[in-house]
Amino acid sequence: MERDLFERERLAALYSYRILDSGAEEAFDALTKLAANICETPVALISLLDARRQWFKSYYGLTPAQTPREISFCRNVVQDRQVLIVEDALQDPRFADREAPEQPSIRFYAGAPLINVGGHALGTLCVIDQRPRQLSHAQLDALVALSGQTVALFELRRKSIELESERVRLHWTIEAAPSGILMVGESGEIRLVNEQVERLFGYDRAELIGRSIDLLVPHKLRSAHAGHRTSFQKAPEGRDMGVGRDLFGLRKDGSEFPVEVRLNPIITDSEGKLVLASVVDITERKQAESRLRASLDEKETLLKEIHHRVKNNLQIVSSLLNLQCTSLRPEDSRAFLESETRIRAMGLIHEALYRSDSLSWIEFRDYAESLGRTLLSAYLKASDRIRLIVEMDRLPLDIDTAIPCGLMLNELITNAAIHAFPDNREGEIRIGLRWKSDEQLEFSVADNGVGLPPGLAIDTTTSLGLRLVRSLAEDQLNGSIRIVDGEGTTFEITFPARKERGKSAIA
Question: Residue 182 in contact with residue 198, Cβ under 8 Å?
Answer: no
Mean pLDDT in residue range 91-95: 79
Q: What are phi and psi of 228, to 5 degrees?
A: -65, -40
Domain boundary among the residues 359, 394, 419 is at 359
Q: Are residues 163 and 184 in the same domain?
A: no
Last residue of a domain, one of 281, 298, 318: 281
Q: Tell me, what's the pLDDT at 406?
A: 83
Residue 181 pLDDT: 92
Q: In this structure, are 287 and 274 located in the same domain? A: no
Q: Look at 94-98, 109-113, 282-286, 298-302 and tell me which has the smallest mean pLDDT.
A: 298-302
* Share of residues in the chain with pLDDT > 70 (%): 80
Q: Facing residues of 431 across strands?
A: 390, 445
How far, CA to CA in Å, does 385 sit from each of 337, 376, 377, 413, 417?
21, 9, 10, 14, 10
Residue 257's nearest CA partner among 290, 217, 226 is 217
Q: Which amino acid is at 150?
A: T
Q: Which one has a higher pLDDT value, 404 or 267? A: 404
**pLDDT (0 to 100) of residue 318:** 55
Q: Flag whether 77 is in a domain.
A: yes
Please check whether residue 365 lies inside any domain of the structure.
no
Helical (H) or strand (E) element with 311: helix 283-325
Residue 325: name the closest of 379, 374, 370 by CA.
Answer: 379
How many Å apart are CA 343 and CA 19, to the nearest integer?
Answer: 83
CA separation for the pair 106, 86 (Å, rounded):
10
**338 pLDDT higher than 70:** no
In a domain, residue 364? The reply is: no
**Distance from chain centroid for Cα 39:** 59
Q: How far apart are CA 47 and CA 465, in angstroms?
A: 91
CATH for 43: 3.30.450.40
Residue 274: name the closest of 197, 211, 189 by CA. Answer: 189
What domain range is 269 assigned to? 179-281
Distance CA 325, CA 329 (A): 8
* Same domain as 28, residue 136: yes
The two beta strands, 53-60 and 66-68, are antiparallel
Q: Could you give the CA distance from residue 74 to residue 76 in angstroms, rounded to a whole number?
A: 5
For 431-447, what is the mean pLDDT? 90
Mean pLDDT of all residues in 439-454: 88
Query: What are the distances in angstroms from CA 120 to CA 14, 20, 140, 151, 311?
Result: 8, 16, 21, 11, 82
Do the domain assignments include residue 270? yes
| Per-residue confidence (pLDDT) for residue 360, from 0 to 100 | 66
Q: Are residues 118 and 216 located together in one domain of the fold?
A: no
Report the alpha-carbon angle 185-187-193, nearest 5: 35
Nearest to 4 by CA among 51, 67, 37: 51
Q: Decide if pLDDT at 35 tops 90.
A: yes
Do residue 399 and residue 490 come from a single domain? yes
| pLDDT tens by residue, 166-186 | 888 888 888 888 899 998 888
Query: 191 with 277, same domain?
Result: yes
pLDDT surpasses 80 at 347: no
Choice between 260 and 271, residue whose per-residue pLDDT is larger: 260
CATH at 502: 3.30.565.10
Looking at the DSSP assignment, which residues form a beta bridge with residue 388? 429
Q: Which of 227, 259, 281 is the last residue of a domain?
A: 281
319 and 233 in a common domain: no
Task: Please report which confidence band the pLDDT of residue 101 belongs to, taking 50, 70 and 90 as the band edges.
Answer: very low
The CATH number linked to 231 is 3.30.450.20
- Please state the pTM of the whole predicted model: 0.47
Alpha-carbon Rg of the chain, whole angstroms?
43
SS3 of 246-278: CEEEECCCCCEEEEEEEEEEEEECCCEEEEEEE
| pLDDT score, position 322 | 58
Instruction: Name the band, by pLDDT with cuts 50, 70 and 90, for residue 147.
Output: very high
- Give the C-alpha separation, 425 to 423, whole Å: 6
Answer whether 186's CB lies under 8 Å from 232's CB.
no
User: Residue 321: pLDDT above 60?
Assistant: no
373 occurs within a structural domain: no
pLDDT band of 372, cuts 50, 70, 90: confident
Domain count within the chain: 4
How much is the pLDDT for 104?
A: 47
Residue 115 is predicted with a pLDDT of 95
Inside any domain, residue 257:
yes
Considering the domain architecture, whether residues 209 and 306 belong to the same structural domain is answered as no
Q: Which of 96-105, 289-298, 434-443 is most confident?
A: 434-443
Check whether residue 287 and residue 250 sit in a common domain. Answer: no
Split at pLDDT 50, 70, 90, the class of 504 is very low
| Same domain membership, residue 155 and residue 195 | no
Between CA 171 and CA 162 the distance in angstroms is: 14
- pLDDT bucket at 408, cuts 50 / 70 / 90: confident
253 pLDDT tier (thresholds 50, 70, 90): very high
Q: Which of 227-231, 265-269, 378-382 has the highest mean pLDDT?
A: 265-269
Rounded to 5°, angle at Cα 83 from 82 and 87: 140
Residue 374 lies in a domain: no
Are 94 and 183 members of one domain? no
The average pLDDT across 38-64 equals: 92
Structural domain contains residue 367 = no
Q: Residues 277, 288: one domain?
A: no
Please classify residue 51 by burial: count the beta carbons closer than 10 Å to its beta carbon, then call 0-12 exposed, 13-18 middle and 19+ buried.
Answer: exposed
Q: What is the pLDDT of residue 69?
A: 87
More confident residue, 115 or 455: 115
